[in-house]
Amino acid sequence: MRLADALAAREGMTCVVGAGGKKTTLYALASRLDRAVVTASVRIPIPSLEENVEEVVVTDDPLAALEEATLDDFPLGLVPGQADDVRYHGYENELLDRLAAAHDGPVLVKADGARMRDFKAPSDREPQIPDETATVLPIASAHVVGEPLDEKMVHRPERVAEIAGIDVGNAITTETVAAVLASDEGGLKRVPEGATAVPVVNKVDDEQLADVGREIASKILERAGGRVEQVVLARMNREDAVVGVVE
């Protein structure tokens, strides 16, 4: 299955949350879609954005920038300004809703941060998901299974522990990952009513990790019930990004 179809991200606004491949997912989608806009509701690294889109426009009026863009400018990065030397700011949710309504192509949004970790649970302020979001992609890396629940690989391990019902320092299991991705306090937090949630187990780099991913996916579907219809196993750094889809 093609990546954009597996992730239900071919049109409308898609927000990517979690850890273990958010930015890679954004750019993998942008490179495969026509007239994609890449933006953020939170801070986004400057180098990664500039290296993965055709044009970055820094503007407080993204709708005007979109109207002025030519086909050669896509994938188009839109941001309101710099937070510091390494990150751009993100837009307010209401403005992203207006941007998505004005654009006749996909809008791809980085909607939380993870400090380069492979797994996370959101803070009280996260994620920042606009109301008109069509699809939310909660992401975690298969690599964390078997590792200790600590800050080396996990952003906010104490929040993960609370959601999963384990202690910081315990080994991360497939159940741990599934519990967070399927939780209203984790991967499904603030998913708008009517939006599609497609959890992603990323960094499924070999058959052993594919088995891990399938186990996580099955447990997500059990926990999430009708809120999740499928889970995608992926390796976003590869051309053949979709490893499998578990329904």
Q: CB within 8 A of 185, min separation 6: which ones?
A: 121, 122, 159, 163
Q: Is the pLDDT of residue 160 over 90?
A: yes
pLDDT above 80: residue 209: yes
- 182-191 residue pLDDT tens: 999 999 999 9
Q: What is the mean pLDDT of residues 208-228?
A: 97
Whether 239 shows a pLDDT value over 80: the answer reads yes
DSSP, residue by residue, 147-185: SBSSTTTEESHHHHHHHHT--TTSBP-HHHHHHHHT-TT
Q: What is the pLDDT of residue 225?
A: 87
Is the distance from CB of 230 to CB of 246 less than 8 angstroms?
yes
Q: Mean of the pLDDT values across residues 210-235?
A: 97
**100: pLDDT confidence band, cut at 50, 70 and 90?**
very high
* Portion of the chain with pLDDT greater than 70, in percent: 100
Kindly report which listed range (81-85, 200-204, 212-216) carries the lowest average pLDDT score.
81-85
CATH (residue range 3-246): 3.40.50
Task: Give the pLDDT of residue 177.
Answer: 98
Q: How far apart are CA 202 and CA 24, in angstroms?
A: 10
Q: What is the mean pLDDT of residues 192-202?
A: 97
Side-chain half-sphere CA neighbours of 69 within 13 A? 28
Cis peptide before 75 (omega within 30 of 0): yes
What are 72-82's pLDDT values in tens digits? Answer: 999 999 999 99
Burial degree of 147 (CB within 10 A; 0-12, 13-18, 19+): middle
Mean pLDDT for 216-223 is: 98
158 in the Ramachandran plot: left (φ > 0), alpha (ψ -120 to 50) or beta?
alpha
Query: Is residue 1 predicted with pLDDT exceeding 90?
Result: no
Q: Are the C-beta atoms of residues 204 and 233 closer than 8 Å to each other? A: yes
Average pLDDT of span 158-163: 98
